[in-house]
Amino acid sequence: MSVHNEQKRVTVADLRRARREGRKIACLTAYDAAFARLVDEAGTDVILVGDSLGMVVQGHETTVSVTVDEMVYHTRLAAAGRRHALLMADMPFMSFTDPAMALRNAARLMQEGGAEMVKLEGGAGQMAVVEQLSVHGVPVCAHLGLRPQFVHKIGGYRVQGRDAASAQALCEDARALEAAGAEMLLLECVPVSLAAEITEAAGIPVIGIGAGAACDGQILVLHDVLGITPGKPPRFARNFMPGHERVGDALRAYVEAVRGGRFPAPEHGF
Ligand SMILES: Nc1nc(=O)c2c([nH]1)NC[C@@H]1CN(c3ccc(C(=O)N[C@@H](CCC(=O)O)C(=O)O)cc3)CN21
Ligand SMILES: CC(C)C(=O)C(=O)O
Ligand SMILES: [Mg+2]
């Protein structure tokens, strides 16, 4: 490893260039320094401190109880282990209900946590929030499709955008959020063909999870990749541990499978 100040960090410009040049972007979650370091050393481009920590770290049934304080804490831990990857942090449930609140909480994730981008679950209804964050220098990833913070409103974790009307609404949300200044989109659990259409139409990088191979990049929850999620992991996930003795080797296998277009396979899509 080269000396610290010679280490080039991944930036939003690098992500845009990867999309333009057709190089796949590999992303993973991490919630502490030890795993952020392993994820980073595997060559991951973007580390997400996801509010999924409410489920995989804290053991709750949903992400709804996760607080800004908890997100700041875990982001700070991940920042301590990260070297090269861009660090993105989730805005938790109810932390961005108006632009002033969103600015305050995004500032904490960046200034106290060390994040370089925030992600928020939202559609066209979050345009004003995304616009204000963007205007004030906060890069935003807009998370569309299945939004786990809506679990109680949806009544479960289900594929989104299956019928023509909801597919149309998703396409419009993607366009609106990009126009509002989003730097990146994340599509969760949407049909493969719809994700391909949105990725094609977008002018910014699109990361998928359960959204097929046409997206510009992929993300999975760390615990699913390592096969340590209690209970049944989502169908779109793949355990990369079999065949590897070390955690780092499994993480590298994931990164290489994404880069090589071997993950996701058709059976991981809807
Ligand atoms: N371990 C873990 N992995 C994740 O990907 C993840 C979390 N936790 N926690 C936060 C959210 C919640 N997510 C989830 C959770 C469950 C499904 C799920 O069970 N999906 C069904 C699809 C059902 C359908 O066909 O409509 C599946 O079988 O995969 C999907 C996303 C994604 N995120
Ligand atoms: C599943 C990913 C995209 C996420 O939002 C999280 O880990 O919280
Ligand atoms: Mg999340």
Name the residue with the closest Cα to ligand 2, atom 7. 50
| Ligand 1 geometric centre to CA of 233 (Å) | 7
Render 148-208 in DSSP notation, one character per residue: GGGHHHHTS------SHHHHHHHHHHHHHHHHTT-SEEEEES--HHHHHHHHHH-SS-EEE
pLDDT at 231: 86
Q: Which residues line the pocket of ligand 2, CB cutoff 6 A?
A: 29, 48, 50-52, 90, 143, 186, 188, 209, 219, 221
Q: How far apart are CA 265 and CA 270, in angstroms?
A: 11
For ligand 1, is residue 229 a contact (CB within 6 Å)? Answer: yes
Strand 86-90 relative to strand 117-121, pairing: parallel
Q: How far apart are CA 165 and CA 10, in angstroms?
A: 37
What ipTM was predicted for this assembly? 0.96
pLDDT at 5: 45
Per-residue pLDDT tens digits of the chain, which is 270 residues long: 334 445 699 999 999 999 999 999 999 999 999 999 999 999 999 999 999 999 999 999 999 999 999 999 999 999 999 999 999 999 999 999 999 999 999 999 999 999 999 999 999 999 999 999 999 999 999 999 999 999 999 999 999 999 999 999 999 999 999 999 999 999 999 999 999 999 999 999 999 999 999 999 999 999 999 999 988 899 999 999 999 999 999 999 999 999 999 999 999 999
pLDDT at 222: 98
Any idea which residue has 């019928």 for tokens? 163
Atom number of ligand 1 nearest to Cα 209: 5
Atom number of ligand 1 nearest to Cα 235: 29
For ligand 1, is residue 92 a contact (CB within 6 Å)? Answer: no
pLDDT at 254: 98
Q: Contacts for 2-8 with beta carbons within 8 Å, 24 or more apart?
A: 7/83, 7/84, 8/84
For ligand 1, is residue 60 a contact (CB within 6 Å)? Answer: no
For ligand 1, is residue 222 a contact (CB within 6 Å)? Answer: no
| Ligand 3 geometric centre to CA of 159 (Å) | 16
Q: Which of 70, 178, 188, 197 is catalytic?
A: 188
Name the residue with the closest Cα to ligand 2, atom 2. 50
Closest of 83, 90, 98 to residue 31, by C-alpha: 90
Q: Which of 65, 221, 254 to mutate to test the pocket of ligand 1 (most atoms within 8 A of CB)?
A: 221
The CATH topology of domain 4-268 is: TIM Barrel (3.20.20)
Name the residue with the closest Cα to ligand 1, atom 12. 148
245 is catalytic: no
Q: Which residues are within 5 Å of ligand 3 (an ion), measured at CB?
A: 50-51, 90
| 143 strand-pairing partners | 121, 186
Name the residue with the closest Cα to ligand 2, atom 5. 50
Sorted by where each begins, the domain ranges of the chain are 4-268
